[in-house]
Amino acid sequence: MEPPEIERLDERTIQRIAAGEVVERPASVVKELVENSLDAGASRVAVSVEAGGTEGIRVRDDGVGIEGDQLEAAVAEHATSKIGDIDDLDAGVATLGFRGEALYTVGGVSRLTVRSKPPDADAGAEISVEGGSVGEVRPAGCPTGTVVEVDDLFYNTPARKKFLKRVTTEFDHVNTVVTSYALANPDVAISLEHDGRETFATEGNGDLRSAVLAVYGREVAEGMLDVDWRPDEGSADSSSLNARTENGSPSVIRVTGLVSHPETTRASRDYLGTYVNGRYVTASSLREAVLDAYDGQLAPDRYPFTVLFVEVPPDDVDVNVHPRKLEVRFDEEAAVRSAVEDAVGSALLDHGLIRSGAPRG
């Protein structure tokens, strides 16, 4: 038998393989598009999906927009307005996405249209990509901001399309993503619509409790307790982590947000929202710390609602451990864990909710 020839894959195939890694399901597309809208400084982000996002996804924002002559770059590979070079990467980027590949990869596995008008442009323009082939830039009427439409996701990758779950499951994932951004950004009016029906719409008035009300309803919003924690000066909590960062921006761990009364629970961990430096994460260490704080007060298999913002010095956290950036790694994991447990414990204690015999400092 002859040894086979080794050949480089063609670009289209490389693109589809790469797309499979970034774009797993409609919710991953929604995540990328919402991040782009937030990066664009939007004050309103409206998401609407059809059939759980499998048939159509539309994200509209009122952000800075994209100039007509930049539309081709926006959908091109490794093209981004967010970092210049590797030094910017090391300096830590403030924006959410920076790999310059979301629109490119989505365009490879769907019918994508990006339509945009910057505030001071006379008219808008749009570009469409179908299965990786990029069309011409055309003039288009549209309000200030950007609309991205993604139709027929995975129409040209049947193997991946087969992995999609039922519409309700896909929509649940979309809902989880949009909810997490709505709660992390109470100053932005974020809405979600499924098959023409509104799921929720936050006001964008900057008030976290009002965002919780919009997303989870009155019963939950009224059952939420305030968390506002910083380490005591000179106590054991002002750990090495706080001491090490005198020269930088945030120098201490802070934990703020809302956690539910132990009687306001659900039979699912899905409502344990934790955010690190503004990003939604599902770090198991944080979840455990939260549950430890409730210490015996939850009914079996019941979990609280939390919207907990943990701020740590950026140098102490690696948010890119996981490609979808849900897991994080801390340099000082024990310090962060104990801060979170203490923060939630103190909030419960303030409401007289810690069981007797379990004193906390």
Choose which of 97, 132, 204, 313 interacts with ligand ADP (CB under 6 A).
97
State which H helix or E strand residue 346 sits in.
helix 333-350
Stretch of 77-85, 150-158, 274-282, 313-321 lying at the interface with ligand ADP (CB under 6 A): 77-85
- Among Mg ion, ligand ADP, none, residue 98 binds (CB under 5-8 Å by kind): ligand ADP
Site string for Mg ion, 86-115 (x = CB under 5 A): -----------x----x-------------
Q: End-to-end CA distance of the chain, in Å?
A: 74
- Minimum distance from CB of 95 to Mg ion (Å)? 8
Choose which of 20, 100, 135, 250 interacts with ligand ADP (CB under 6 A).
100
- Minimum distance from CB of 47 to ligand ADP (Å)? 12
Amino acid at 191: S
Site string for ligand ADP, 55-74 (x = CB under 6 A): ------x-xxxx-------x
The reply on whether position 274 binds ligand ADP by CB under 6 A is no
* Residues 214, 201: Cα–Cα separation, whole Å: 6
Tell me which residue of 273, 102, 264, 259 sits closest to 176, measured CA to CA. 273
Choose which of 20, 24, 99, 292 interacts with ligand ADP (CB under 6 A).
99
Q: Give CA torsion, residues 331, 334, 335, 336, to 10 deg.
A: 80
Site string for ligand ADP, 28-57 (x = CB under 6 A): ----x---xx--x-----------------
* Residues 340, 40: Cα–Cα separation, whole Å: 31
Which of 104, 294 has the CB closer to ligand ADP? 104
**CA atoms in the 13 A half-sphere facing the CB of 82:** 23
Stretch of 76-84, 254-262, 287-295, 350-358 lying at the interface with ligand ADP (CB under 6 A): 76-84
- Minimum distance from CB of 126 to ligand ADP (Å)? 13
Instruction: Look at phi and psi of residue 234 and say left if phi exceeds 0, alpha if psi is from -120 to 50, else beta.
Output: left
> Residues 104 to 143: which contact ligand ADP by CB under 6 A?
104
Choose which of 15, 28, 36, 274 interacts with Mg ion (CB under 5 A).
36
Which residues, listed in sequence order, are joined to residue 140 by a DSSP beta bridge? 124
- Minimum distance from CB of 80 to Mg ion (Å)? 7
- Among Mg ion, ligand ADP, none, residue 101 binds (CB under 5-8 Å by kind): ligand ADP
Pairing of strands 197-201, 145-151: unpaired
Which of 82, 161 has the CB closer to ligand ADP? 82
Site string for ligand ADP, 178-207 (x = CB under 6 A): ------------------------------
Grouping H, G, I as helix, E, B as strand and the rest as coil, residue 38 is helix
- Minimum distance from CB of 99 to ligand ADP (Å)? 5
* Residues 47, 192: Cα–Cα separation, whole Å: 5
**CA atoms in the 13 A half-sphere facing the CB of 11:** 8
Beta strands in the chain (DSSP E): 44-50, 56-61, 111-117, 124-130, 133-134, 138-140, 145-151, 189-194, 197-201, 224-229, 254-260, 265-266, 272-276, 279-281, 303-304, 306-311, 317-318, 329-330
The reply on whether position 80 binds ligand ADP by CB under 6 A is yes
Count the site residues for ligand ADP by CB under 6 A: 23
**Packing angle of the helix pair 208-216, 167-184 (nearest 10 deg):** 170
- Minimum distance from CB of 150 to Mg ion (Å)? 13
Which of 116, 202 has the CB closer to ligand ADP? 116
- The two three-digit tokens of residue 171, written as one number: 């929509």
Grouping H, G, I as helix, E, B as strand and the rest as coil, residue 139 is strand
The reply on whether position 98 binds ligand ADP by CB under 6 A is yes
Question: Which residues lie near Mg ion (CB under 5 A)?
Answer: 36, 97, 102
* Contact set with ligand ADP (CB under 6 A): 32, 36-37, 40, 61, 63-66, 74, 79-82, 97-104, 146
